[in-house]
Structure 1
């Protein structure tokens, strides 16, 4: 990979900001479902910003990192920098979403706070389901944000309040889920988090089984029963999701992407990509 290669050639935050808000300097945006429908970006995208939103109706499917989520009424979605996501269908959800950059909190007492939140970290649980009371509370904060959207000082405090409420709901949801998970379900979640952390350099089932202190055979059995896919398939899906993001978001050459993904030869990468996507990497880059 060339020294200084820019991995952020296409930044969806900048794309939305310039095409829908016509604002050069803003560090946050408040979006509704109409913006997403007009933008209609359905290829995998790596975030270089923070985003949190709630859904009031409709039903969508979204892939975040290596986990597919169903989005419906009461879903709270949070994605942080470095995480790849892809909407798998044309959006039908009714939503409110706030996007903001790392600089948004820089001059406030809350600087650095978003990075401490587990739902913004790659491999985290990025979607939680709110009950009726929780959805009402979150909607109240978003409506307050709309009322003060042009007052930067107040906006900063309201977004912080949204994140604090989301953290409280996340902690409650996670505790409930973990208490209700079987041992196999906990192992499946552990595997998915490990893959997000290590997929660039570790592609063997043996590695992940050793990290989890179980046998490769048992790991594959767990994943087949809990997720419906064997371990190697899930690892490869994460690798090629990264590949598709790099092809669409960066100016890296196919050879540079193959190097970044640690393929021994560029030809190996091209052959494997074509087998999965039925397009060469170069053709995928140009494909609408």
Structure 2
């Protein structure tokens, strides 16, 4: 993080969303948030066909390489180079993809691909797959420009489904990600969603176990088998991430952040943060803006 930028809230970048779906060339899209940390309201696929520099996603820096895909969930904070990136952005809402219950039961569940409860990593795309993905992008853009009433969204949805399935296949071919995918448990996705929704007020494993009608012990067995973490580990990871976001990108005091995240004692919150982040909240904030 090179830029000394502090704002009241982490900014949301407004993308050129056509209804609940958009696809555009990265090099042609410029906003005032280019090159600074921001987030999005919707799911975003970033396919870098040609790129150099760093892509920072929730405080982790990834070196950009050609033919690499990043998958971002709503609310994730990321920062791209202000220039020198080429490729495509596909943005869509969950409602666009799953219009009804039948589609949830029959379409590929893309949310498993966007899950980052396991170690997050970009997807490296082979040349043959890059050609196929490029053709799907072309078909998407043609369908958007044609704007056939009634049929357009349905056709685009199936193109998107094909794009995601190809991305998943490439992810499985990425050796580093294969073991985690083989141990995939859909309950981890559901749990991560619950943690995202309730982590500010619900810090105890018992609350989350109750949502599954399981004991905390049993839910911990499931999470350990799938991601080598306990439920409490997942909640603490989410608390620390949100604390880092607020410390880095807001003017809120440590005390305000403490209370917002459901802690009653600022001193305890500071100890909690140090134990997990290896530094105090004040030190972390100062480090971000050196």
Q: What RMSD, in angstroms, separates the aligned Cα atoms of the two structures?
A: 5.4
Deviations 1:192-242 (A, max 9, x none): 222122211111111111111222112112211211112211110011101
Structure-to-structure mapping, 1:96-245, within 5 angstroms: 96-98=87-89, 114=93, 116-117=95-96, 125-126=113-114, 135-140=130-135, 165-170=159-164, 185-245=185-245
Unaligned runs of 5+ in 2: 1-5, 15-21, 99-110, 115-121, 173-180
Residues 211 and 259 (structure 1 numbering): CA distance in 2 closer, same or farther, change over 3 Å?
same
Q: What secondary structure sits across from 2:263 in the alignment?
A: coil
Using the size of structure 2 for normalisation, the TM-score is 0.57
> How far apart, CA to CA, are the structure 2 residues paired with 1:8 and 1:162?
37
Residues 163 and 62 (structure 1 numbering): CA distance in 2 closer, same or farther, change over 3 Å?
farther
Deviations 1:57-77 (A, max 9, x none): 99x99867xxxx9x9987644
> How far apart, CA to CA, are the structure 2 residues paired with 1:138 and 1:235?
36
Residue in 2 aligned with 1:282? 282
Q: What secondary structure sits across from 2:87 in the alignment?
A: strand
> How far apart, CA to CA, are the structure 1 residues paired with 2:163 and 2:234?
29
2:136–2:159 contact (8 Å) kept in structure 1: no
2:49–2:66 contact (8 Å) kept in structure 1: yes
Deviations 1:40-88 (A, max 9, x none): 87x8x64356632225599x99867xxxx9x99876444354x22569x
Residues 49 and 190 (structure 1 numbering): CA distance in 2 closer, same or farther, change over 3 Å?
closer
Deviations 1:107-141 (A, max 9, x none): xxxxxx6352469xxx7642889787664243246
1:51–1:78 contact (8 Å) kept in structure 2: yes
1:8–1:249 contact (8 Å) kept in structure 2: yes
1:7–1:246 contact (8 Å) kept in structure 2: no
Residue in 2 aligned with 1:268? 268
Using the size of structure 1 for normalisation, the TM-score is 0.58
1:30–1:99 contact (8 Å) kept in structure 2: no
Unaligned runs of 5+ in 1: 1-5, 15-26, 101-112
Displacement of 1:287 in angstroms is 0.9
Displacement of 1:145 in angstroms is 9.8
Residue in 1 aligned with 2:76? 84
